[in-house]
């Protein structure tokens, strides 16, 4: 069943107050809800009755008006619920007065305001979908976004119904000493039989997707934060006792996020308490439930002995992301799920800027752009392509996508670029002020930016409605006689499902012109001085920009900082790219030039390889790398990024028809050749960057050194020299931290030294057997190894006692890592990788549809491959489609992929 944005209607009823009582037992849970329901009077004139959500009990309810004939039925969402009882205004009603089916409970109210009491019984202990109320290890927890609340009780489970929640949790005191929900603790007490209870009250109206509950035996890490206005906030992180030592970084990240949102957006925290709970079984990264964020433990726990620098940065950014949702998501929420990017795109933009401010801005941007181009561009080019604001969906869980999150963030970034930071801030101030406490749309967001600044973003909004990655072709034309330089721009966008034709986008093109020494020229256009860097707004299908007073042919530095999510095409020669890689004053574009040079070289070699000719490496790439190795002025983290060749996934995305084997062979050959040719400077730089045994430090400079050192270690190991092997083994043994130890393990696992490899893997598994997140790394390194026999290794890994298909982190680190990072093995031409993945999808479809559906992604890319693989991939999608009891999640992705 497909749901359309154009079918949006306001709710017929609103729920002013929601009072919940949970009785938790080992073999079931009882959920008693008492709802103050009110007919939505505002619905007739098309305006949402928003202030209605703020009515107090008495205002909203007395007197009870009869609704009269023609009152709409009240249709509550509910799934997998056992209905125990229903009462209206304390009068039990019997089953002839309501209808229940698999998805709903329908009532026929006689008055416009009433109190509805419902009791349902659910089975959290059997909930393997990890949606609604479920058990993770010994703890009860919830995940309600997007539509999980309806698996807890019958409700108007839609984001435009905002209600004030009071929640009482009752459970055995011994097993569940900690009982949490949203808001403030207002009462607690004892019960007979060793049970106890706690009541939480959340003063802020919220949609049901932000509801949360936790009950477990958790230890508390506590701190506090004083807001700019002087309010003291109680900060709490709850984790399982063995993880007590791993919370410092999350706590520190939280405090820095709170400060940053005050300084950059003027947003203060609003409750007296802010809680984070870490759980081991979680479908996603984390969830922004009001006052009670629930996190995948992988996004909370970080200790240098067990977590890599990458994990530290992920914790920092996810903690910030969820915290920032308190304003961009909770105080101002989404009217419907088509508007998901309203909160996700904006919040990803906010967390990216936070990370950029905390660490290296250039490196953060390089990482994000790399990720977007390899993954979101592929999504935009595939069968699941959809606009940032989709027009239809079958299962909303499938739309927590790279397009909604990452491209959505790029759309907000473009608005920020077009307005500049001050005017953008004026716009967000107006947005938060105007819509506080409301459920709104992407149009409302843009309207606030427009109204605060007197601008018109009508055309810009095509970024919300048109899917696909635009192509921006640019050509430069220097005319000595008139001293002008023209940039001729042409934009287009390929068709996507349901959208054959696209209208021109507004593309902010940040650029500069460089002279032969790499210096930026002053820019003059139409008689005005634009400085040395400017943002051109490309708005037409074809458009020419003329710069005046240019007396020598310049080289353009284009799309600086990746100022728009487009594919830029400019006829740069390899020499141009070498020049830009060495001289562009903009760090991001220096990386971009080196990257595009490498892409060009690799693509050329793939063709040569396919023609059966020998591979000869363009020495210019080598020279760029040599320069980077000796450039001690350059941030080592940026150097590491430049030295990393474009990924196989990105090369596949760029290809018309991708030859995975050729791409893998060529890339590995070039890596080995670079390592051999540059072994000397690589060793020199490697050794100059300090030793792995020195004490660990979390500062950006130390992380940058580790990043470059380990990139170099990876190259040096390709030379198969005994010096490299012993340096690697030494690093594995002596490392003072997991970043270095893991980098050594990766290099060993991908080496041909079977003995060292097995010794290291065994010793690692023994030492970290009790650390599930470290074991995830151990799994993922092996599942990602491109050496022959990948599928067999993965099948062995699945038999390991630490593997558990019910734990999403394990699924991601074994099955996901294989299908997404081990392309040469996954795409084995016998189709065994595809078959394996489809089998796992079918198995997971019953256990956890959300995880099953996400796992299909690599198969949805079938159009990129040769006819033989295409047939094999489609065959597996077809087999998935024919499986019994297909979830809507899996059905939607499999069927759309074949359509």
Instruction: Kindly list the residues in this chain that would bind ligand ARG in the complex (CB under 6 A).
Output: 145-146, 284, 286-288, 321-322, 344, 397, 400
Helix, coil or strand: residue 668? helix
Tokens matching residue 558: 């284009």
Helix, coil or strand: residue 254? helix
Strands 333-334 and 392-393: unpaired
Distant-in-sequence, close-in-space partners of 700: CB < 8 Å, separation ≥ 6: 359, 360, 637
Q: How far apart are CA 817 and CA 609, in angstroms?
A: 27
In the stretch 332-351, what mask flags binding to Zn ion with x, by CB under 5 A? ------------x--x----
User: Which of 472, 249, 265 lies closest to 354, judged by CA?
Assistant: 265
Minimum CB separation of residue 593 from ligand ARG in Å reads 34
Closer CB to ligand ARG, 129 or 703, in the complex: 129
Closer CB to ligand ARG, 23 or 344, in the complex: 344
Closer CB to Zn ion, 113 or 379, in the complex: 379
Tokens matching residue 448: 């606030």
User: Which of 576, 649, 666 lies closest to 864, judged by CA?
Assistant: 649
Closer CB to ligand ARG, 328 or 370, in the complex: 328
Strand partners, 82: 121
Minimum CB separation of residue 405 from ligand ARG in Å reads 7
Of all residues in this chain, which one has the CB nearest to ligand ARG in the complex? 400
Minimum CB separation of residue 443 from ligand ARG in Å reads 21
Burial 293-329 (b: 16+ CB within 10 A, else e): bbbbbbbbbbbbbbbbbebbbbbbbbbbbbbbbbbbb
Residue of 131, 288, 322, 353 marked active site: 322
Q: How many CB atoms lie within 10 A of CB 828?
A: 18
Closer CB to Zn ion, 314 or 426, in the complex: 314
Q: How many CB atoms lie within 10 A of CB 101?
A: 8
What DSSP line would sit under 196-239, residue for residue?
Answer: EEEEEEEEEEE-GGG--EEEE--EEEEEEEE-TTS-EEEEEEEE
Minimum CB separation of residue 382 from ligand ARG in Å reads 19
Q: Is 193 exposed, middle or buried (0-12, 13-18, 19+ CB in 10 A)?
A: exposed
Q: Residue 146 binds which one of ligand ARG, Zn ion, none, with CB within 5 to 8 A depending on kind?
A: ligand ARG
| Alpha carbon 504 to chain centroid, angstroms | 28
Closer CB to Zn ion, 345 or 833, in the complex: 345
Closer CB to ligand ARG, 115 or 145, in the complex: 145
Q: Residue 287 binds which one of Zn ion, ligand ARG, none, with CB within 5 to 8 A depending on kind?
A: ligand ARG
Closer CB to Zn ion, 343 or 840, in the complex: 343
Closer CB to ligand ARG, 324 or 572, in the complex: 324
At residue 177, φ and ψ (nearest 5 deg) are -65, -25
Query: What string of H, E and C letters represents the secondary structure of 519-539?
Result: CECCCEECCEECCCCEEEEEC
User: Which of 56, 162, 178, 68 lies closest to 112, judged by CA?
Assistant: 68
Minimum CB separation of residue 467 from Zn ion in Å reads 21
Q: Residue 417 binds which one of Zn ion, ligand ARG, none, with CB within 5 to 8 A depending on kind?
A: none
Within 13 A of 670's CA, how many CA atoms are on the CB side?
A: 29
Q: Residue 284 binds which one of ligand ARG, Zn ion, none, with CB within 5 to 8 A depending on kind?
A: ligand ARG
H or E stretch at 31: strand 29-39
Minimum CB separation of residue 853 from ligand ARG in Å reads 10
What DSSP line would sit under 90-113, residue for residue?
Answer: TEE--GGGEEE-SSEEEE--SBSE
- Using CB under 5 A as the binding criterion, the count of chain residues that bind Zn ion stands at 2
Q: How far apart are CA 30 and CA 152, in angstroms?
A: 9
Closer CB to ligand ARG, 325 or 609, in the complex: 325
Q: Residue 286 binds which one of ligand ARG, Zn ion, none, with CB within 5 to 8 A depending on kind?
A: ligand ARG
In the stretch 293-332, what mask flags binding to Zn ion with x, by CB under 5 A? ----------------------------------------
Q: Residue 145 binds which one of ligand ARG, Zn ion, none, with CB within 5 to 8 A depending on kind?
A: ligand ARG
Minimum CB separation of residue 435 from ligand ARG in Å reads 18
Per CB under 5 A, which of residues 345..384 are in contact with Zn ion?
347
Q: Quick check: is 322 catalytic?
A: yes
User: Which of 310, 302, 303 lies closest to 711, judged by CA?
Assistant: 310
Minimum CB separation of residue 341 from Zn ion in Å reads 10
At residue 586, φ and ψ (nearest 5 deg) are -90, 115
Minimum CB separation of residue 346 from ligand ARG in Å reads 11
Minimum CB separation of residue 400 from ligand ARG in Å reads 4
Distant-in-sequence, close-in-space partners of 589: CB < 8 Å, separation ≥ 6: 557, 558, 559, 560, 561, 580
Instruction: Give residues in contact with Zn ion (CB under 5 A).
Output: 344, 347
Residues tagged active-site: 322
């Amino acid at each position: 069943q497909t749901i359309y944005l154009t079918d949006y209607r306001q709710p017929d009823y609103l729920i002013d107050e929601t009072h919940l009582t949970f009785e938790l037992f080992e073999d079931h849970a009882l959920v008693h809800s008492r709802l103050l329901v009110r007919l939505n009077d505002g619905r007739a004139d098309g305006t949402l009755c928003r202030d209605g959500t703020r009515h107090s009990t008495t205002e909203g309810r007395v007197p009870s008006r009869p609704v009269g004939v023609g009152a709409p039925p009240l249709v509550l969402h509910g799934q997998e619920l056992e209905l125990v009882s229903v009462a209206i205004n304390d009068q039990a009603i019997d089953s002839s007065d309501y209808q229940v089916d698999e998805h709903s409970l329908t009532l026929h109210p006689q008055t416009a305001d009433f109190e509805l009491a419902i009791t349902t019984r659910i089975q959290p202990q059997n909930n393997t979908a990890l949606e609604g109320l479920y058990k993770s290890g010994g703890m009860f927890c919830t995940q309600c976004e997007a539509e999980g609340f309806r698996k807890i009780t019958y409700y108007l489970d839609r984001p435009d119904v905002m209600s004030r929640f009071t929640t009482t949790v009752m459970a055995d005191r011994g097993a569940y000493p900690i009982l949490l929900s949203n808001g403030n603790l207002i009462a607690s007490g004892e019960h007979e039989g060793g049970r106890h209870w706690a009541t939480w009250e959340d003063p802020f109206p919220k949609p049901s997707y932000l509801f949360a509950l936790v009950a477990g035996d958790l230890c508390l890490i506590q701190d506090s934060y004083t807001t700019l206005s002087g309010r003291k906030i109680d900060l709490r992180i709850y984790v399982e006792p063995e993880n007590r030592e791993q919370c410092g970084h999350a706590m520190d990240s939280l405090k820095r996020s709170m400060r940053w949102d005050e300084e950059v957006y003027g947003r203060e925290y609003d409750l007296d308490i802010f809680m984070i709970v870490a759980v081991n079984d979680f479908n996603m990264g984390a969830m922004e439930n009001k006052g009670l964020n629930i996190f995948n433990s992988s996004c909370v726990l970080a200790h240098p002995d067990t977590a890599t620098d990458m994990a530290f940065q992920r914790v920092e950014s996810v903690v910030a992301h969820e915290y920032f949702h308190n304003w961009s998501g909770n105080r101002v929420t989404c009217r419907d799920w088509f508007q998901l990017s309203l909160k996700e795109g904006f919040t990803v933009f906010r967390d990216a800027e936070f990370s950029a401010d905390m660490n290296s801005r250039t490196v953060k941007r390089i990482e994000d752009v790399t990720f977007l181009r390899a993954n979101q561009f592929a999504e935009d080019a595939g069968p699941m392509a959809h606009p940032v604001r989709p027009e239809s969906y079958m299962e909303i869980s499938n739309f927590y996508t790279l397009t909604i999150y990452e491209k959505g963030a790029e759309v907000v970034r473009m608005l920020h670029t077009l307005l500049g930071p001050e005017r953008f801030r004026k716009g967000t101030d107006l947005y938060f002020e105007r819509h506080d406490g409301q459920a709104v749309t992407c149009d409302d967001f843009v309207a606030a930016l427009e109204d605060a600044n007197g601008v018109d973003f009508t055309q810009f909004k095509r970024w919300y409605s048109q899917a696909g990655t635009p192509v921006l072709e640019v050509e430069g034309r220097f005319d000595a006689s008139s001293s002008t330089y023209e940039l001729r721009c042409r934009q287009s966008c390929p068709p996507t499902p349901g959208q054959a034709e696209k209208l021109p986008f507004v593309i902010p093109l940040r650029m500069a012109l460089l002279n032969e020494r790499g210096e930026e020229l002053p820019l003059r256009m139409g008689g005005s001085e634009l400085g040395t860097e400017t943002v051109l707004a490309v708005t037409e299908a074809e458009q020419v920009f003329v710069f005046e007073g240019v007396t020598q042919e310049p080289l353009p530095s284009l799309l600086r900082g990746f100022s728009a999510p487009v594919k830029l095409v400019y006829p740069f020669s390899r020499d141009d790219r070498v020049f830009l890689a060495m001289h562009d004053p903009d760090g991001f574009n220096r990386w971009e030039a080196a990257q595009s040079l490498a892409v060009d070289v690799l693509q050329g070699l793939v063709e040569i390889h396919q023609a059966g000719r020998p591979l000869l490496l363009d020495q210019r790439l080598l020279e760029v790398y040599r320069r980077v190795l000796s450039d001690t002025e350059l941030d080592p983290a940026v150097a590491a990024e430049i030295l990393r060749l474009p990924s196989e996934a990105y090369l596949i995305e760029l290809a018309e028809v991708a030859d995975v084997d050729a791409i893998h062979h060529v890339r590995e050959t070039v890596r080995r050749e670079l390592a051999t040719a540059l072994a000397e400077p690589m060793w020199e730089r490697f050794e100059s960057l300090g030793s792995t045994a020195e004490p660990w430090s979390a500062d950006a400079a130390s992380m940058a050194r580790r990043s470059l050192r380990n990139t170099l270690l990876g190259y040096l190991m390709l030379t198969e020299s005994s010096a490299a092997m012993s340096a690697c083994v030494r690093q594995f043994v002596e490392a003072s931290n997991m970043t270095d130890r893991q980098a050594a393990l990766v290099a060993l696992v991908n080496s041909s030294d079977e003995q060292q490899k097995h010794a290291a893997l065994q010793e690692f598994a023994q030492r970290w057997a009790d650390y599930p997140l470290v074991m995830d790394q151990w799994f993922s390194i092996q599942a990602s190894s491109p050496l022959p026999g990948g599928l067999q290794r993965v099948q062995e890994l699945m038999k390991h006692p630490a593997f558990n298909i019910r734990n999403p982190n394990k699924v991601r680190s074994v099955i996901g890592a294989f299908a997404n990072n081990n392309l040469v093995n996954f795409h084995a031409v016998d189709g065994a990788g595809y078959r394996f993945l489809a089998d796992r999808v079918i198995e997971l479809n019953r256990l956890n549809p959300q995880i099953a559906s996400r796992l299909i992604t690599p198969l949805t890319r079938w159009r990129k491959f040769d006819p033989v693989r295409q047939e094999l991939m489609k065959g597996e999608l077809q087999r998935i489609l024919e499986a019994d009891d297909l979830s809507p999640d899996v059905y939607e992705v499999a069927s759309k992929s074949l359509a």
